[in-house]
Amino acid sequence: MRKLRCERWMRGSGWDGPSIFELDEAGRIASITPARGDETVDETIDGLVLPGMPNVHGHAFQRALAGFVEDGDPGAHDSFWTWRTRMYRLALQLAPEDVEAIAAQLYVEALEAGYTSMGEFHYVHHDPEGRPYADRAELAARILAAAAETGVGLCLLPVPYLAGGFDQPPRPEQRRFVHADPDDFLETWAAIRARLAPDQRLGIAPHSLRAVPPEAWAPLLGGVRAVDPDAPIHVHAAEQTAEVEACLGRLGARPVRWLLDTIGVDARWCLVHATHLDGGEIEGLARSEAVVGLCPTTEANLGDGIFPAEAFLRAGGRVAIGSDSHVIVDPAEELRLIEMAQRLITRRRLVLALGPAGTRVHVGAALWRAAARGGAQALGLPAGALEVGHRADLIVLDPSHPHLVAHGPDAAVDALVFAGPRGAIRDVMVAGRWRVRGGRHPAREAVASRYAACLRRCAAAFD
Ligand code: NGQ
Ligand code: ZN
């Protein structure tokens, strides 16, 4: 057992003072006891300790798009769908080494920003011609390797992708994503499962209602649940209004309504985006105990719309954050945008500071707690709060940072979220191991130079 003394650490509500955390071999918190002052400890942590943030949704390779997709012909009406065409061009030219180099770069940046685990919604499975690699888990194994190398926690979510759109055959440019049928996908899923390290989690992520036809859901979910009844299930839903309209036309219901009524959604589920909801969907989704995986910077970048966060949280809904296309890799910025978008549309402040009148709610700290807990639920990881039995996934704020010194603990988290103080996150631990110290991941330079070489090759996709 390793013993850490934490001077001040975040609880589910409020903060606690000097305590001894015992960590077991697997990096889980075995006990938390008040410090007496005479214990021998392995280490003392002086800064504020917060649960590390799970990043529940993303496609690692898209980090390489950053900055390459912000130009276009002013007469051409760029949109989510034109962005997607450019994203497909990158997907088509990735070699296995590229997948690994980009993921490693992403994971170093994510750890340094305070993310301690990632949900990888992994859909580039096949070679550039669209044939399975000799090893069906070739590309997934690159993600697993990048996570292991950098030390970030991982829930890998292999994606069944069977159709090109509602009632449409796959398009040629989707060939690396597509499986012929549920059995074909489950064969890939089983190959991936055999490659997982003990602390890595595996789920399934039917891409969307567009890409997975109604009759395929039962065999896909059944195949996975026969192996792991609790496997996390993620799906993109109701991100663009065009998708909501098409779904209404083809399936006779809005996407989230269809999932709630036809498939059945519960606490194992994470609905990614869920941007466009009517009142009944808000209530139903909140009651289902599923998590909504919000990706505010990508949703803003792609022009998706604004999630009805106030109504959903008032209904008791659970949220988490992801960085999706990874155009920004910063949990504070995702949380900030959730609240800021509400302020912009309501012309009020502290919109998501919910609770009984007469109390004082710190909106930044409240969002951090909610997203950490919701994120761990969505990834099926024992994390998201500093509690016995949970993994020691935590971040330490720099107590001498000028933007934090004068703040109480909740106000310091508000400052982290709303003021974006550079360098405030000093240390990051995943499963009991320090992965970032003094703001730096030890592999930062090596990983960045591999990534730079990969980007020089990939840039050709955007000429
Ligand atoms: C994706 N990304 O799978 O990477 C999607 C775009 C699609 C987002 N939805 C492709 N943000 O939805 O068809
Ligand atoms: Zn996505």
pLDDT, averaged across the chain = 97
Q: How far is the CA of 88 from the centre of ligand 1 (A)?
A: 10
Q: Averaged over 438-442, what is the pLDDT?
A: 98
**pLDDT for residue 462:** 77
Closest-lying ligand 1 atom to the alpha carbon of residue 243:
12
Catalytic residues: 273, 324
Our answer on whether the CB atom of 57 is closer than 6 Å to any ligand 1 atom is no
- Per-residue pLDDT for 459 more than 90? no
**pLDDT for residue 366:** 98
Our answer on whether the CB atom of 59 is closer than 6 Å to any ligand 1 atom is yes
DSSP 27-90: SBEEEEEE--S----SEEEEEEEEEPEEEEEE-GGGGGGTTTSS---TTS---HHHHHHHHHHH
pLDDT band of residue 458 (cuts 50, 70, 90) is: confident
Our answer on whether the CB atom of 120 is closer than 6 Å to any ligand 1 atom is no
- Is the alpha carbon torsion for 334, 326, 225, 141 positive or negative? negative
pLDDT digit string (tens) for 182-195?
999 999 999 999 99
For a ligand 1 pocket test, name from 157, 236, 301 the mutation site with the most ligand atoms within 8 angstroms of its C-beta: 236
Ligand of minimum distance to the alpha carbon of 177: 1
**pLDDT for residue 51:** 98
pLDDT digit string (tens) for 263-294?
999 999 999 999 999 999 999 999 999 999 99
> Residue 399 and residue 164: Cα distance in Å, rounded?
51
- Per-residue pLDDT for 399 more than 90? yes
pLDDT digit string (tens) for 22-69?
999 999 999 999 999 999 999 999 999 999 999 999 999 999 999 999
Our answer on whether the CB atom of 457 is closer than 6 Å to any ligand 1 atom is no
Our answer on whether the CB atom of 239 is closer than 6 Å to any ligand 1 atom is yes
> Residue 41 and residue 138: Cα distance in Å, rounded?
43
pLDDT band of residue 123 (cuts 50, 70, 90) is: very high
Q: How far is the CA of 154 from the centre of ligand 1 (A)?
A: 20
Three-state DSSP class for 436?
A: strand
Q: How far is the CA of 84 from the centre of ligand 1 (A)?
A: 7
- Per-residue pLDDT for 463 more than 80? no
Q: How far is the CA of 315 from the centre of ligand 1 (A)?
A: 28
Q: How far is the CA of 80 from the centre of ligand 2 (A)?
A: 12
Closest-lying ligand 1 atom to the alpha carbon of residue 324:
11
Closest-lying ligand 1 atom to the alpha carbon of residue 121:
3
Closest-lying ligand 1 atom to the alpha carbon of residue 208:
12
- Tokens at 229, concatenated: 């009844």
pLDDT digit string (tens) for 215-255?
999 999 999 999 999 999 999 999 999 999 999 999 999 99
Q: Which residue owns the Cα nearest ligand 1 atom 4?
A: 59
* Secondary structure of 177-231 in HEC code, one letter for each residue: CCCCCHHHHHHHHHHHHCCCCCCCEECECCCECCCCCHHHHHHHHHHHHHHCCCC
pLDDT digit string (tens) for 311-346?
999 999 999 999 999 999 999 999 999 999 999 999
Consecutive H or E run containing 360 = none
**pLDDT for residue 461:** 75
> How buried is residue 233: exposed, middle or buried, by Cβ count under 10 Å (0-12/13-18/19+)?
buried
**pLDDT for residue 10:** 98
- Residues 237 and 259 sit within 8 Å (Cβ to Cβ): yes
